[in-house]
Amino acid sequence: MISRVNNSMKPIALAKPAVSYPCFVHGGVQVASRSRVLPEETPIALVYDGSTEAVMMATPTDLEDFAVGFAFTEGLISELGDMADVVVAHSESGIELRMWLARSRGAEYRQRRRRLAGPTGCGLCGIESLAEAQRALPPVRNGTTLCSRVITEAANRLIDFQDLHRQTHATHAAGLYRPDGTILVREDVGRHNALDKLAGSLVRAAIDPVGSLIVISSRVSIEMVQKAAAIGAEVLVAVSAPTALAVRTAEMANITLVAIARGQSFEVFTHPQRIR
């Protein structure tokens, strides 16, 4: 797969992940002026074979990861070889991620093409049917067991690698954590986008999630479980609570769902046999 950046449309200022804005701080009877670093939010169009599949509001970082990860978790590709080319095209109105699928995948895409437009963190906008919202997931494989210490370490280490959140206090993160302490993290204003970016980074680097876990900084909705299942993660850890539907979906997908992982405590909702 070839990845390129195209800025030839016209000279523009490329979007930054965060910008500083002045504000007034009210504290009791005192008012002080200061500056606050805020995360950027940019319209990003995901374009496959010339057709726009989605327009998402996202942080303009790790764009190739986002392009590949969204295609992967949405089922448009199953491996990196299914995508022939990616061009990141910047314009005054936003960013286009222009992707060309391999011939066989392109034919499949044209048959199933659907449109959706999503605000920040919206993962189900524009689907074609109610059945698709709760589509059946192939169960992930078995083979991973983790000690409880790894769960708490993962949640705590994720915080250490949230550089953009440390600046802005307004972004989400998703990470792949290995028992040896290594972690790969992606951030975004949208929790779904952060997980898509992580998925893309794994696909592009040919990283197998077996023996690892995915940890996210947000609540667990059904879409997060669906994306974790697409990645093949056996264990999904979140710092916040899950929805009831997310728990039922994780149960059916054979995913160990761990939530409310804070400090030294956490709660296991499904398939507890993987946690020693």
Tell me the C-alpha distance between 179 and 186, whole Å. 19
At residue 170, φ and ψ (nearest 5 deg) are: -150, 25
Q: Is the pLDDT of residue 125 over 60?
A: no
DSSP state of 275: B
Burial 181-192 (b: 16+ CB within 10 A, else e): eebbbbbbbbbb
Q: What is residue 126's predicted lDDT score, i.e. its pLDDT?
A: 44
Note the pTM of the prediction, 2 decimals: 0.89
The reply to whether 132 falls in a domain is no
Stretch among 8-12, 109-113, 166-170, 230-234 having the lowest mean pLDDT: 8-12
Task: Write out pLDDT tens, residues 79-102.
Answer: 999 999 999 999 888 999 999 998
The total number of structural domains in the chain stands at 1
Residue with the two structure tokens 């893309």: 200
Residue with the two structure tokens 């290995």: 178
- Residues serving a catalytic function are 122
| Cβ count within 10 A of residue 95 | 20
The reply to whether 250 falls in a domain is yes
CATH number for the domain spanning 250: value is: 3.40.140.10
Q: Confirm if 259 and 267 have CB atoms less than 8 A apart.
A: yes
The reply to whether 7 falls in a domain is no
The reply to whether 52 falls in a domain is no
Query: Residue 200 sits in which domain range?
Result: 148-274
The reply to whether 226 falls in a domain is yes
